[in-house]
Structure 1
Amino acid sequence: MNVMAKAEKKISSAFIYFFGSFGGILFGYDIGVMTGALPFLQADWHLENAASLVGWITSAVMFGAIFGGALAGQLSDKFGRRKMILMSAIVFVVFSVLSGVSPDMGEASAYYLIIVRMLLGLAVGAASALVPAYMSEMAPAKARGRLSGLNQTMIVSGMLLSYVVDFLLKDLPGEWAWRLMLGLAAVPALILFLGVLRLPESPRFLLRKGDEAQARKVLSYIRKNPAEIDQELASIKETAKEERQANQKTSWSTLFSGKYRYLVIAGVGVAAFQQFQGANAIFYYIPLIVQKATGQAASSNLMWPIVQGVILVVGSLVYMWIADKFNRRTLLMVGGAVMGLSFILPAVINWMMPNMNPMTIVVFLCIYVAFYSFTWAPLTWVLVGEIFPLAIRGRASGLASSFNWIGSWLVGLIFPIMTASMPQEAVFAIFGIICILGVIFVKTCVPETRGHTLEEIEEQGTNHGRVKASNPEN
């Protein structure tokens, strides 16, 4: 026991935050890796004309993630954040390897891979929920605001890493290329597992289980001031008490009562719009998009995902610089408007000039990704973290996450089906209209949260509910 205590005391806060962030890299890698693997998989299994199967193979991970996040959240309250992150990493390793060794059995192979990737999605959803929660519970209060931006940077860095790996493996024989791309997703998961083995459990979870001595010890590893430790322990106890009382008084129906309805609709709506705006259509299918636009083989267009990845990383750094300089609503509306125009204008230009350079659509997609990267991508989760009152925070955050994953899954599933049945410009124009609807939604239904305390934000929702009750025609 003393040996363990000494080992834990050597753990620096930088080590803890690095492996918290590393979960984002793992999550991002799996989002991006199918982008390069898909063209080779299609050719190897002759799926060029099987749009629905391609959609299911691509989106299966997101389908599993819908359930993985919710399941992991409940289990982590019973077994602890650290143990569930370790379990998620193991599941990730196992099913990444099983994806890479998929048997070649004709059409049955596609169904095997869909099932395996759904199970892999359980780990993806769990990691996306557990790692930020663990980090927020370990970090000092003054650093929590920056963690959302840091987590987004790590996710897009993981995506960029997967794009680079895909590019480096593209000259291998087709069968080996896609198998190694998918199988190598096990490497960051293994690194995460080994890193988390050295991490202590969250002090919040330890206090919930009544182990105040161990919670104090863990805080002593990452807080230097004893008075700060005492103050934080008292704060955690008070918050836990309030949450227990809130959970006893609330149910799912409470979310849509007059008092909370405004804020729940705002938070869940933003989370849903983030995905239905079509970003993942670009991230998953950019080589196929370029192929359809230019006629070049998708497997020869793997430089484009790297371009998108660099834009995402730079955009996430821009967000960290501007996050506290502009209102949330302003950034969301400006970003959504430019994103919408980036999707709609190629269709308009193509209609006016049928001989339009086919690469025009790719240029506009880069503009879309740039504005998405420092507006809707990070701000969605900043706003979701701020907007829900304590009494409903757990349920409402879970609902927002589920709608976000449902949107991600549906976009990944239907995009290849849509592009197989209509012009590519028309498909993106539809997503562009959704972007504009998102701007209207933010303007009319979302309160400003920057510079407001959580109590002030909750009061906005309460007051809005009173106004609606007294003026039902509004």
Structure 2
Amino acid sequence: MNVMAKAKKKISSAFIYFFGSFGGILFGYDIGVMTGALPFLQADWHLENEASLVGWITSAVMFGAIFGGALAGQLSDKFGRRKMILMSAIVFMIFSVLSGVSPDMGEASAYYLIIVRMFLGLAVGAASALVPAYMSEMAPAKARGRLSGLNQTMIVSGMLLSYVVDFLLKDLPGEWAWRLMLGLAAVPALILFLGVLRLPESPRFLLRKGDEAQARKVLSYIRKNPAEIDQELASIKETAKEEQQANQKTSWSTLFSSKYRYLVIAGVGVAAFQQFQGANAIFYYIPLIVQKATGQAASSNLMWPIVQGIILVIGSLVYMWIADKFNRRTLLMVGGAVMGLSFILPAVINWMMPNMNPMTIVVFLCIYVAFYSFTWAPLTWVLVGEIFPLAIRGRASGLASSFNWIGSWLVGLIFPIMTACMPQEAVFAIFGIICILGVIFVKTCVPETRGHTLEEIEEQGTNRGRVKATNPEN
């Protein structure tokens, strides 16, 4: 027993934060891997003129993730964040392998792959909901933005990893190339599973289940000051007690009670806008975008995803540097405004100068990715992890994740159809308008959360709810 206890005490905070956020690697790898696999898959299965089928194959993961996020949110409230992350890793391993061994049965092959990738999406959606919740509950308030930003760094590192793998495998025979690209996703899933086996459960979840001794032990891994541990335990217990008294049983209707509605709308709204702004249209289809702009074969444009991936990783590191120096709202509004202009200006320039260099749109897309990478990309998950009160965090995080994936799924599904029907510049201009609407939403509907404890953020929502109940016209 003493040996076991000593072994557990050796778990460092760096290990906890690294593997606590490692689920983002799975998320990112699967976002990026189809970017390189798709041109080879299209050629192998003769799908070049099947825009709808291509859209479904690409977006099937996001469709499954809609349900995975909501399901994992509920189950994590019952079984814990750690156990559900382990389960997600297992599901991810199984269906990554099944994607890589898709049978060649003509048109039926496409439907098989769509179904398998939907199940894979359950694990991806679960990771997108569980990792931010786990990281926010482990991180101290003063460093929560930076540490929660590790999730985004992991996501974009997973994307860059998939782009590099795609590039390295591109010279294999077409059938082997895309199969290995998809199947190798099982490797990071295995690493995640082995790492999370040693992770502790969230102290907030442990306290909610009445295990104060274990919650204190977990906090001792990640807090240096005993007084800070006592203060945080007391704060968590007080909030949990108030929630138990107010809501003996939390239901979906609880999320939209006057007490929580303001925070739920803010968190879910930001999660939805992040995807409807069109970022994943770039990440899923950049080789096809360059092909349409230049006429070069998509399979020869696999260096562009790596460029985008490098920009994303640098941006995530920039975010970790500035995360707790600027207000969340400020970064979101500045980023959203530049992103919107980056999408709208190519359409304006093309209208004024019809002979515009076709690569101009790609340059503007790089500007979009740069600002997205250190504003909306990481801050969405930071907000989702920190804005929801304890009593509804699992359900609300799952709901936000599901809305995020609904946007991702729709963008992945309809982008190839839209670009088949209208100029690319016009498609991106539509996304640019959505970016501007996102800025307006943040300015009017999202509270500032930087530097506040989770309990203080909850109090903001409670006070706003009281004001609304007293003055409905406000």
Provide the TM-score with structure 2 as the length reference: 0.91
How much does 1:251 deviate?
4.4
Q: Identify which of structures 1 and 2 has the higher relative contact order when contacts are C-alpha pairs closer than 8 Å and 6+ apart.
A: 2
> Structure 1 residues 456 and 186 mapped into 2: Cα distance closer, same or farther (>3 Å)?
closer
How much does 1:156 deviate?
0.8
CA distance in 2: counterparts of 1:459 and 1:16, whole angstroms: 29
How much does 1:455 deviate?
6.6
> Structure 1 residues 197 and 174 mapped into 2: Cα distance closer, same or farther (>3 Å)?
same
Root-mean-square deviation (CA), in Å?
Answer: 2.6
> Structure 1 residues 425 and 73 mapped into 2: Cα distance closer, same or farther (>3 Å)?
same
> Structure 1 residues 140 and 254 mapped into 2: Cα distance closer, same or farther (>3 Å)?
closer
Q: Is the CA contact (8 Å cut-off) linking 2:66 and 2:125 kept in structure 1?
A: yes
How much does 1:233 deviate?
4.0
CA distance in 2: counterparts of 1:195 and 1:327, whole angstroms: 33
Q: Is the CA contact (8 Å cut-off) linking 1:246 and 1:391 kept in structure 2?
A: no
Q: Is the CA contact (8 Å cut-off) linking 2:328 and 2:450 kept in structure 1?
A: yes
Report SS of the residue matched to 1:248. coil
How much does 1:2 deviate?
4.5
How much does 1:14 deviate?
1.8
Q: Is the CA contact (8 Å cut-off) linking 1:35 and 1:284 kept in structure 2?
A: yes
Q: Deviations over 1:38-65 (max 9, x none)?
A: 1111111111111111111111111111
How much does 1:34 deviate?
0.8
How much does 1:414 deviate?
0.8
Once the two structures are overlaid, the 10-residue window that deviates more, 137-146 or 178-187, is 137-146
How much does 1:390 deviate?
5.2
How much does 1:380 deviate?
2.0
Q: Is the CA contact (8 Å cut-off) linking 1:8 and 1:199 kept in structure 2?
A: no
CA distance in 2: counterparts of 1:201 and 1:5, whole angstroms: 16
Q: Deviations over 1:68-115 (max 9, x none)?
A: 122222223333332222221111111111101110001111111111
**Corresponding residue of 1:141:** 141
CA distance in 2: counterparts of 1:147 and 1:264, whole angstroms: 22
> Structure 1 residues 191 and 364 mapped into 2: Cα distance closer, same or farther (>3 Å)?
same
Q: Is the CA contact (8 Å cut-off) linking 2:102 and 2:109 kept in structure 1?
A: yes
How much does 1:283 deviate?
0.5
Q: Deviations over 1:147-184 (max 9, x none)?
A: 12222112111111111111111111111111111011
Q: Is the CA contact (8 Å cut-off) linking 1:246 and 1:392 kept in structure 2?
A: no
CA distance in 2: counterparts of 1:218 and 1:300, whole angstroms: 50
Provide the TM-score with structure 1 as the length reference: 0.91
**Corresponding residue of 2:212:** 212
> Structure 1 residues 455 and 133 mapped into 2: Cα distance closer, same or farther (>3 Å)?
closer
Q: Is the CA contact (8 Å cut-off) linking 1:25 and 1:159 kept in structure 2?
A: yes
> Structure 1 residues 309 and 84 mapped into 2: Cα distance closer, same or farther (>3 Å)?
same
CA distance in 2: counterparts of 1:190 and 1:244, whole angstroms: 38
Q: Is the CA contact (8 Å cut-off) linking 1:8 and 1:221 kept in structure 2?
A: no
Identity of aligned residues (%): 97
CA distance in 1: counterparts of 2:67 and 2:427, whole angstroms: 28
Once the two structures are overlaid, the 10-residue window that deviates more, 355-364 or 385-394, is 385-394
Q: Is the CA contact (8 Å cut-off) linking 2:73 and 2:396 kept in structure 1?
A: no
Report SS of the residue matched to 2:22. helix
**Corresponding residue of 1:467:** 467
Q: Deviations over 1:313-332 (max 9, x none)?
A: 11112222222333333322
How much does 1:18 deviate?
1.6
CA distance in 2: counterparts of 1:330 and 1:214, whole angstroms: 38
Q: Deviations over 1:195-241 (max 9, x none)?
A: 12233333444444444444444444444555554444444433432
Report SS of the residue matched to 1:249. coil
How much does 1:271 deviate?
1.5
CA distance in 2: counterparts of 1:334 and 1:181, whole angstroms: 36
Once the two structures are overlaid, the 10-residue window that deviates more, 373-382 or 215-224, is 215-224
How much does 1:415 deviate?
0.7
Once the two structures are overlaid, the 10-residue window that deviates more, 343-352 or 450-459, is 450-459
Q: Deviations over 1:99-135 (max 9, x none)?
A: 0111000111111111111111111111222233333
CA distance in 2: counterparts of 1:284 and 1:155, whole angstroms: 14
CA distance in 1: counterparts of 2:4 and 2:454, whole angstroms: 39
Once the two structures are overlaid, the 10-residue window that deviates more, 393-402 or 124-133, is 393-402
> Structure 1 residues 92 and 78 mapped into 2: Cα distance closer, same or farther (>3 Å)?
same
How much does 1:310 deviate?
0.9
Unmatched runs of 5 consecutive residues or more in structure 1: none
CA distance in 1: counterparts of 2:137 and 2:466, whole angstroms: 34
**Corresponding residue of 1:172:** 172
